[in-house]
Structure 1
Amino acid sequence: MKQVFHKFGAVSMAFLVLFTTMSFTVNMHYCGELLVDYSFTSHVKTCGMESQTSPINCDSTITKDSCCKDKQLIVEGEDNLKLSFENLSLEQQTFIATFVYSYIDLFETVEESNDSLNYYSPPVLTKDISVLHQTFLI
C-alpha cells in the first residue's frame, strides 16, 4: 500500500512539473461575437469577411472595417524551476531552519530489541517423545 501511494505521488509530481513548464498558444477567429475557428497548432481559418475592398476605382482603395477579429491567447510556462536560497528573506530562512529542526527526528527509525528470547531456556523433557511414539528419521 505504501508503494502505491509513493508511485501515485511520484506520477502526480511529474505531471505537475510537466504542466507548469508547458507553454502553448491558442489562435481564435471571431466574427462579431461568434467564435468561428480556433487552433492550437497553426493559423485559424477565416470566414472570408476580414477586409473588403471596393473594385470601383483602382487608384483609390477604400477598405471597410469588418466585424471579424483574430485573438491569440498565449500561456507561457515556467522556465526557471531551480529556486535560489540567496533571495530568501531572514524570516523565511528562520522558518525553514525551525521547520527542519523540529521535524528531523520524526523520520528516524528506532530499533526495538527483544531481549526476553536471549535468556530463554527450553523446558526439561521428562520422556523422549520420538521413542514414545516410535517415530524415527531414516
Structure 2
Amino acid sequence: MKVLLHKGFSAILALLVLFSTVSFTIEKHFCGDVLVDVSIFTEVEKCAMEAYEIALEKITKIPCCKDKIDVVKGQDELKMSSFDDLDLEQQRFIIVYTYSYTNLLEYLQKEIIPHKDYSPPNLVTNIQVLDQVFII
C-alpha cells in the first residue's frame, strides 16, 4: 500500500510540473462581433466571407473580420533550491524532523518460530479409539 501511494504521488507531482511548464495559444476568429471559430493547437478556420471581406476592407479601410490570440504562458524556469539556501532555523527544523521521524518507530525483529520445519510422526493407529477416550 505504501509503495502504491508513493508511486501515485510521484506521478501526480510529475504531471503537475509538466502542466505548469506547458504554454499554448488560444486563437479566436470574429466576423464583426460574432465569434466564428476557436482553436487551441491549430489555426482557426476563416469565415466563408473572407475573400469578400478583404475586398470590402480595401474600399472602406475598416476591417470587418479580426483574429484574437490569447497566449497562456507556462513557467519558463523552475527554481532548484538546495539545503544550503535555507535559513539556519529551517535547516535545524528539517534535521530534527527527519531524525525524529526515522527514529519514531522501533522496528520489530522477525518472529522466530522454532518448530516451523517440524513434521509430526505418522500415526499408525488412532490413539483415542484405542484408549476409548472421547471428548463429549
Bin for the TM-score computed over the shorter chain: 0.5 to 0.7
User: How far does residue 74 in structure 1 lie from its aligned partner after superposition?
Assistant: 1.1
Supply the AA of the counterpart residue of 1:106.
Y
**TM-superposed deviation, 1:112:** 4.1
1:124 paired residue number: none
> Match of 1:107?
102
Partner residue in 2 for 1:79: 76
Q: Which residue of 2 aligns with 1:97?
A: 91
Structure 1 unmatched runs, 5+: 55-62, 118-129, 134-138
Q: In structure 1, what is the Cα distance between the partners aligned to 2:10 and 2:78?
A: 17
1:85 offset after TM fit, Å? 5.1
RMSD: 3.4
Greater share of residues in helix: 2
Which runs of structure 2 are paired with 1:48-87 in the superposition (5 Å)?
A: 48=50, 49=53, 52-54=57-59, 63-84=60-81
Deviations 1:10-40 (A, max 9, x none): 1101110110111111111122332211222
Which letter maps to 1:22? V
Structure 1 distance, partners of 2:41, 2:87, is: 44
Q: Which runs of 5+ in 2 are unaligned?
A: 113-122, 128-136
> How many percent of aligned residue pairs carry the same amino acid?
35
- The AA in structure 2 aligned to 1:107 is T
Write the distance in 2 (CA, Å) between the matches of 1:43 and 1:111: 61
Question: How many residues are paired up?
Answer: 109
Change (3 A) 1:102 1:72: same
Distance 1:85 1:112, change over 3 A: closer
TM-score by length of 2: 0.59
